[in-house]
Amino acid sequence: MRSIIRGAGTRCGLLALLVTGGSLALATPALAIQAINVTTTQDGTVAGKTTLRQAIDQANAASGEVEIVLAARGTYTLSQCAPGTDTSNREGPLTYFGSVPVTFEGNGNTLRQTCPGDRILNLQTAELVNINDLTLTGGDAAGQPGGGVWSQGTGELDLKNDVFTNNHSDAAGGGVANGGGKLVITGTTFNTNSGTELAGGIASIGPMELVNSTVTGNTGGTAPGSPANVGGIAASSGLTMIYSTVQDNTAQNINVQQGGLASFGSAVGLSHPTGKTYPDCQINGGTKSYGYNFSADQSCGFGGGPGDRSGGGDPKFEPEFTTTGALEIVPKKGSRLIDVIPKSACAPPAVAALAPVYVNLHFDQVGTRRPQGKGCDIGAIEVPMPTAAFTVKPHGPKAGRTVKFTSTSKELGGRVVSYTWAFGDHSRKAHGRTVKHVFKHRGRYTVTLTVKDAAGNTATKKIRIKVS
């Protein structure tokens, strides 16, 4: 078994790794996955209900693979506070130390820590842990790594379609700190997390994969004498990055201590220094580009693959928020990331082989299909093609009366830049999101709206109306 040991006052790197012996068990027949439904968002013990803490207790004692389903809708608030770092799962952070694989199915819910000095989740296992479709916020690891999650064992940690926001560590990995196991992150956003020592977003000793994910607005290395000023990602054993965006983190965006960087279709944007100048990347072990990567400066080592743009300056991103409040960083008008990757190169076999088997690279972080335009976009988000639609008021217009036409076209981020109206009566075309028109004669007319986005993609909607 492996464990991670880290002293609160030690400032000599990410974490310290202690390796002891292990044994190989004989293969046994697979058992059915045990589903445990969490039926209340309350913490602790609730009569007649299953809390998340109770579900993890059951998983810790299970003899076969477990799926913990957050079935109750809402915010799961951790309110059972511990005076120190409690790893029993009775109070303080949630702790999984079981000997079987476990999956946390978040179902779009939020897990919030309210106890000062306590992270959200401890993982002390050599088994696979999946955390799916969950927002984790409020973690505060006092003197310890991993404000949101600390994976201390050798088990693989897979994060799928999650959000880590407003978590803090006094050490490394404000969002996530990972020990000796593999860390696989897909479809996930890290935003506004902080690490006093380094790596406000993610710190990983084990090898790390980042696919269809966004790391932005995280802060690291604010303590005096910090070993590395890293705001976004600190990786000790190599980083593989596919269709991801690492942008606007305080100090360095990416630091790879050894093992190098392998990357395809990813954007490393401007860092956000605090009165100092830092390169966007520090890569030890070299960079292998599979093509179509963008970096604001030349520190990431891009340039060896087709379509690479090293030292491209401002990539021109803008923030967007989904209906659930999750942050996305999307290329805006004039960005050199849009339609850069040829359709034939959007998911080359060599790159698909690097990605987890459950990831389809023809879809972006939020499920938009690639490509949307002439080619695929660099980064985690594929800017969708516009969809034209409009309303007519009044519905039964009369000749000689004013008719109001309003576009209801889908406009992610306001990227629809022009609206052109044709009214089918040989009149001049009109422009604007909302226009007014008067039909002089009775009859049937076909009104056409054509919208264009910042990349030059167009969409058209036609409605046949009767004027009496």
pLDDT score of 30: 54
Element of type H or E holding 349: helix 349-352
The DSSP bridge partners found for residue 303 are none
Q: Reply yes or no on whether the pLDDT at 366 is more than 80.
A: yes
CA dist 256 → 176, 178, 241, 303 (Å): 16, 14, 12, 18
pLDDT in tens, 181-238: 999 999 999 999 999 888 999 999 999 999 999 999 999 876 555 555 789 999 999 9
Residues of the chain above pLDDT 70, percent:
87
Q: Reply yes or no on whether the pLDDT at 403 is more than 50.
A: yes
Average pLDDT over residues 351-359: 97
Choose among 205, 198, 168: nearest CA to 183. 205
Record the tokens describing residue 10, joined without a space.
């030690």
Q: Reply yes or no on whether the pLDDT at 20 is more than 90.
A: no
pLDDT score of 198: 81
Q: Are strands 102-105 and 129-132 parallel, antiparallel or unpaired?
A: parallel
Q: Reply yes or no on whether the pLDDT at 60 is more than 90.
A: yes
Phi, psi values for residue 414, rounded to 5°: 70, 25
Q: Reply yes or no on whether the pLDDT at 464 is more than 90.
A: yes
Higher pLDDT: 320 or 36? It is: 36
Average pLDDT over residues 24-52: 82
Q: Reply yes or no on whether the pLDDT at 14 is more than 50.
A: no
Q: Where are the alpha helices (DSSP H) in 198-317?
A: none
pLDDT score of 411: 62
pLDDT in tens, 268-319: 987 766 556 788 999 999 999 999 999 999 999 999 999 999 999 999 888 8
pLDDT score of 340: 95
Gap between the Cα atoms of 404 and 134, Å rounded: 43
pLDDT score of 396: 87
Gap between the Cα atoms of 107 and 315, Å rounded: 33
Domains contained in the chain, CATH given: 30-376 (2.160.20), 390-467 (2.60.40.10)
| 3-state DSSP assignment of residue 176 | strand
Q: Reply yes or no on whether the pLDDT at 13 is more than 60.
A: no
Record the tokens describing residue 339, joined without a space.
């339609």
Query: Which DSSP category does 8 fall into?
Result: T
CB 171 within 8 A of CB 14: no
pLDDT in tens, 278-288: 889 999 999 99
Residues of the chain above pLDDT 90, percent:
72
pLDDT score of 412: 55
CB 357 within 8 A of CB 429: no
Which residues, including other chains, have CB under 8 Å from residue 342's CB and lie 6 or more apart?
375, 376
Q: Reply yes or no on whether the pLDDT at 12 is more than 90.
A: no
Q: Reply yes or no on whether the pLDDT at 325 is more than 70.
A: no
Residues 68-100 as b/e (b if ≥16 CB within 10 A, e otherwise) read: bbbbbeeebbbebeeeebbeebebbbbbbbbeb
Ranked by mean pLDDT, the top range of 5-9, 100-104, 249-253, 407-411 is: 100-104
